[in-house]
């Protein structure tokens, strides 16, 4: 394999790769230090890189490392700059999975989606597609482990999702809808057919990342769908293209 290089655009705090709890400027301290002493109650974001094996099989490992470092940095910076300033925040990386926690009331869901926008679009721009789920419930956090109902909900739904994007779990969608809070915005869109395994779908809130005129993204998705021989992988890209087509109706 040739000595390929990827020009990293940002630097990341090396402590992030050691699963260090996140503390933003002005926060009253870490969300956790060592082991948890009390439960967190709020949003849990569970995101990973879709098809990491295919990525590292086709690129120099150093290129993959640098791209992932940049993705982590974008999320970290976005969390720091988020209008969610009163929340206890947690930022953790485990291999190719990013876990974020925000101890905010459910009414803040649009802000959570908002801080995911730029990092997600950046990842697609460097051909590092992400897939994730957002829950809202009790969870326990430490620098070594994240457990509890919110983790179980987000992780299990994430494992089922058959497309690129970040989505509310059915449970969180229900909670938001029950309070009459569901609405489209620049950050979020209600998508009626989030694709999950066994050819099933559910209606939920999706990160509103496609703005209807990004031909480069559509070309990337189309090329990936064409070159995949495995039906399950091809379908993930086709399902994402259907989301883009649906979403473009609201951007005109």
Instruction: Look over the chain and give the mean of its residue pLDDT values, rounded to a whole number.
Output: 82
Confidence bin at 199 (pLDDT 50/70/90): very high
Confidence bin at 167 (pLDDT 50/70/90): very high
Does the pLDDT at position 129 exceed 70?
Answer: yes
What confidence tens digit (pLDDT) does each residue in 18-41 have? 333 333 333 333 334 445 456 789
Distance CA 27, CA 45 (A): 20
Does the pLDDT at position 152 exceed 80?
Answer: yes
Does the pLDDT at position 119 exceed 60?
Answer: yes
Structural domains in the chain plus CATH codes: 39-248 (3.30.70.1230)
Distance CA 205, CA 106 (A): 13
Q: Are 143 and 19 in contact (CB under 8 A)?
A: yes
Q: What is the pLDDT of residue 115?
A: 94
Distance CA 198, CA 118 (A): 31
CB atoms within 10 A of CB 10: 14
Instruction: Report the interhelical angle of 109-125 vs 215-227 (nearest 10°).
Output: 70
Radius of gyration of the chain (CA): 18
Does the pLDDT at position 251 exceed 70?
Answer: no
Confidence bin at 250 (pLDDT 50/70/90): low
What confidence tens digit (pLDDT) does each residue in 64-88 have? 889 999 999 999 889 888 877 566 6
What confidence tens digit (pLDDT) does each residue in 175-192 have? 999 999 999 999 999 999
């Amino acid at each position: 394999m040739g000595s390929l290089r990827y020009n990293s655009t940002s630097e990341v705090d090396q402590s992030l790769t050691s699963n260090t709890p996140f503390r933003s400027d002005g926060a009253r301290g870490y969300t956790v230090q060592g082991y948890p002493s009390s439960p967190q109650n709020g949003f849990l974001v569970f995101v990973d890189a879709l098809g990491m094996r295919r990525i590292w099989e086709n690129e120099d490992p150093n290129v993959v490392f640098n791209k992932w470092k940049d993705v982590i940095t974008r999320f970290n910076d976005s969390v720091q700059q988020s209008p969610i300033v009163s929340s206890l925040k947690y930022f953790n990386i485990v291999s190719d999975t990013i876990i974020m926690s925000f101890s905010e009331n459910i009414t803040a869901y649009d802000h959570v989606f908002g801080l995911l926008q730029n990092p997600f679009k950046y990842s697609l721009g460097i051909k590092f597609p992400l897939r994730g789920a957002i829950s809202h419930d009790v969870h326990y956090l430490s620098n070594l482990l994240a457990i509890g109902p919110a983790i179980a909900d987000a992780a299990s739904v994430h494992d089922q999702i058959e497309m690129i994007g970040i989505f509310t779990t059915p449970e969180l969608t229900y909670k938001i809808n029950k309070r009459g809070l569901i609405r489209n915005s620049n950050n979020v869109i209600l998508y009626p057919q989030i694709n999950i395994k066994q050819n099933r779908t559910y209606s939920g809130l999706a990160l509103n990342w496609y703005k209807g005129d990004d031909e480069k993204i559509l070309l990337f998705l189309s090329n990936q769908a064409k070159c995949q021989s495995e039906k399950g992988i091809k379908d993930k890209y086709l399902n994402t293209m259907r989301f883009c087509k649906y979403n473009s109706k609201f951007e005109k």
